[in-house]
């Protein structure tokens, strides 16, 4: 039986409804991990470092998809809760078209300035060459990657989270198969090219398949069609989704700063070790992000329907589930640190030791990360983009920048790994404060 946004959600129903979104984000992260595995083991340490150096910039250019996905779906879901289906479909179409257009613009700008950006990030010599190769090939698919990120949220709003998972699996399988073929079979100088093509083609699949589905008559509550330019709605979606935009842009900027600090304290090995941690962290944080994406339309719907009792229930259940997930992930991080390091960088003993010791510290952040992500997403779902944006800004930019610059002065390389733990803890304390002071307004 299909689960509707209007349903009452028990723990079981909440988990069943959000599980496709969680799986979708985890699978998205896993095929990124597979990409890193092939580059590291078949192309070498320098290409692997180049991918990790340029990846934050590539992710930053695509964050507009997250913004219109989360911010736009909150607005569309609220309209559905108010019974305004035609208006909801019009705005859904508008957000898709605007996102694709911005993706084209950012792809062109990135393609032209990728060399200067790579140099700014500290690349030179062979590392610079590899950054340009990987970056330009991926930028060709950027408009579709933007759409892929946008539809992560809108599949849930359309009450078709399982279909969103299916599209993500198709995209991931495309990447994995092409990685296995291109990276392993192409001559050594072109292995990085093959990895980049594999990633780009998977993004085309992930962005184009939803367009085909929603443009035709379908079984969901959303459909692409005619729309009109509504600047006020675009601004509202941007405001609602500004926290997700800020979060992803900030993470990309902070990732660049981490790389700069790591070059200073550990050289190219530091960037490669951080790359391994980021791949694994993407999987764990992907579960939290997937849960937030899965619950957001439900929160928005019941907020629009003025069902305060269900809002309270959703918040309480989500905080409990997030705590359980966080504890399990910390335990997994500690247990899997050595096996994961061997998979990616087992060919270099010094690099593997650096990766294991760093990940054991870094992994402690997962107990706090889930709360910070969910609380920010909860306020986005309530259409309180300002509060959500402030939380994301402080969490992903201010706290992390302060930590990554100050802690290494005391703890050296361990201070870099500890930075994320301290930043996430501060974000949870701040999020708890906002939940308390906003409760009288939203009555959750």
Comparison of pLDDT for 305 and 109, the residue scoring more: 109
Q: Which of 53, 226, 215 is nearest to 133 (CA)?
A: 53
Q: What pTM, to 2 d.p., does this model score? A: 0.69
Tell me which DSSP letter residue 3 carries: P
With cut-offs at 50, 70 and 90, classify the pLDDT of residue 35: confident
- Is the Cβ–Cβ distance between 166 and 206 less than 8 Å? no
Rounded alpha-carbon distances, angstroms, from residue 148 to 131, 268, 295, 344, 416: 23, 32, 19, 27, 32
- Domain positions in the chain are 11-442
Distance CA 252, CA 102 (A): 18
Q: Which of 195, 151, 193, 203 is nearest to 172 (CA)?
A: 203
Of 3-7, 101-105, 359-363, least confident by mean pLDDT is 3-7
Looking up tokens 């692997």 gives 48
Is residue 94 helix, strand or coil?
helix
pLDDT value for 104: 97
CB atoms < 10 A from the CB of 245, how many?
A: 22
Measured in degrees and rounded to the nearest 5, phi and psi for residue 44 equal 115, 175
pLDDT higher than threshold 70 for residue 346: yes
Q: Structure tokens of 366?
A: 């997962």
Q: Which of 182, 174, 183 is nearest to 202 (CA)?
A: 174
Comparison of pLDDT for 203 and 397, the residue scoring more: 203
pLDDT higher than threshold 80 for residue 216: yes
Distance CA 101, CA 103 (A): 5
- Is the Cβ–Cβ distance between 317 and 9 less than 8 Å? yes
End-to-end CA distance of the chain: 28
Distance CA 239, CA 66 (A): 12
Distance CA 336, CA 342 (A): 10
Segment 275-301, tens digit of pLDDT: 777 777 778 888 898 899 889 888 988
Segment 124-172, tens digit of pLDDT: 889 899 999 999 999 999 999 999 999 988 988 888 888 888 998 899 8
Distance CA 4, CA 342 (A): 44
Rounded alpha-carbon distances, angstroms, from residue 352 to 270, 378, 426: 11, 38, 30
Rounded alpha-carbon distances, angstroms, from residue 298 to 242, 295, 320: 20, 5, 17
Segment 240-279, tens digit of pLDDT: 777 667 666 766 777 777 777 777 777 767 777 777 777 7
pLDDT value for 213: 94
- Report the b/e string of 127-164 with b at 16+ CB within 10 A: bbbbbbbbbbbbbbbbbbbbbbbbbbbbbbbbbbbebb
CB atoms < 10 A from the CB of 92, how many?
A: 26
* CA count, 13 A, side-chain hemisphere, 176: 13
Q: For 335-353, what is the mean pLDDT?
A: 81
Distance CA 43, CA 194 (A): 10
Q: Which of 169, 199, 182 is nearest to 42 (CA)?
A: 182
**Chain length of the chain:** 444
Q: Structure tokens of 306?
A: 């003025």
Tell me which DSSP letter residue 190 carries: G
Distance CA 366, CA 326 (A): 5
Distance CA 388, CA 376 (A): 5
Q: State the sign of the Cα–Cα–Cα–Cα dihedral 6, 7, 11, 14.
A: negative
Distance CA 278, CA 342 (A): 15
Segment 162-204, tens digit of pLDDT: 888 899 889 988 998 999 899 988 998 899 999 999 999 999 9
């Amino acid at each position: 039986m299909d689960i509707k946004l209007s349903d009452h959600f028990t723990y079981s129903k909440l988990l069943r409804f959000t599980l496709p979104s969680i799986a979708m984000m985890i699978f998205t992260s896993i095929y990124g991990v597979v990409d890193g595995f092939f580059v590291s083991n078949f192309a070498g340490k320098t290409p692997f470092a180049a991918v990790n150096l340029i990846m934050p910039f590539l992710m930053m250019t695509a964050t507009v998809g997250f913004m219109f996905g989360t911010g736009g779906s909150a607005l569309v879901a609220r309209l559905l809760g108010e019974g305004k289906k035609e208006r909801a479909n019009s705005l859904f179409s508008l957000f898709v078209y605007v996102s694709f257009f911005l993706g084209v613009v950012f792809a062109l700008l990135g393609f032209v300035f990728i060399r200067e950006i790579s140099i700014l990030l500290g690349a030179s010599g062979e590392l610079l060459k590899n950054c340009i190769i990987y970056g330009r090939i991926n930028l060709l698919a950027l408009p579709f990657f933007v759409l892929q990120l946008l539809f992560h949220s809108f599949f849930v709003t359309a009450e078709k989270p399982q279909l969103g998972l299916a599209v993500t699996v198709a995209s991931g399988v495309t990447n994995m198969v092409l990685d296995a073929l291109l990276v392993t079979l192409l001559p050594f100088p072109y292995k990085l090219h093959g990895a980049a093509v594999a990633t780009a083609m998977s993004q085309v699949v992930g962005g184009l398949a939803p367009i085909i589905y929603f443009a035709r008559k379908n079984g969901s509550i959303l459909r692409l069609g005619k729309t009109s330019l509504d600047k006020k709605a675009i601004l509202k979606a941007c405001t609602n989704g500004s926290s997700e935009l800020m979060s992803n842009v900030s993470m990309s900027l902070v990732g660049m700063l981490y790389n700069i600090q790591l070059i200073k304290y550990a050289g190219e090995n530091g960037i490669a070790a951080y790359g391994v941690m980021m791949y694994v962290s993407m999987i764990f944080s992907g579960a939290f992000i997937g849960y937030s994406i899965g619950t957001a339309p439900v929160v928005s719907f019941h907020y629009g329907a003025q069902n305060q009792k269900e809002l309270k229930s959703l918040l309480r259940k989500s905080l409990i589930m997030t705590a359980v997930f966080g504890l399990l992930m910390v335990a997994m991080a500690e247990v899997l640190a050595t096996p994961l390091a061997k998979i990616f960088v087992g060919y270099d003993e010094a690099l593997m030791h650096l990766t294991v010791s760093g990940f054991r510290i870094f992994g402690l952040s997962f107990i706090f990360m889930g709360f910070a992500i969910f609380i920010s997403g909860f306020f986005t779902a309530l259409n309180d983009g300002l509060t959500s944006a402030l939380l994301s800004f402080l969490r992903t930019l201010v706290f992390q920048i302060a930590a990554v610059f100050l802690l290494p002065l005391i703890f050296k390389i361990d201070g870099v790994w500890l930075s994320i733990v301290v930043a996430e803890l501060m974000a949870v304390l701040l999020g708890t404060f906002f939940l308390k002071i906003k409760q009288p307004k939203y009555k959750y």
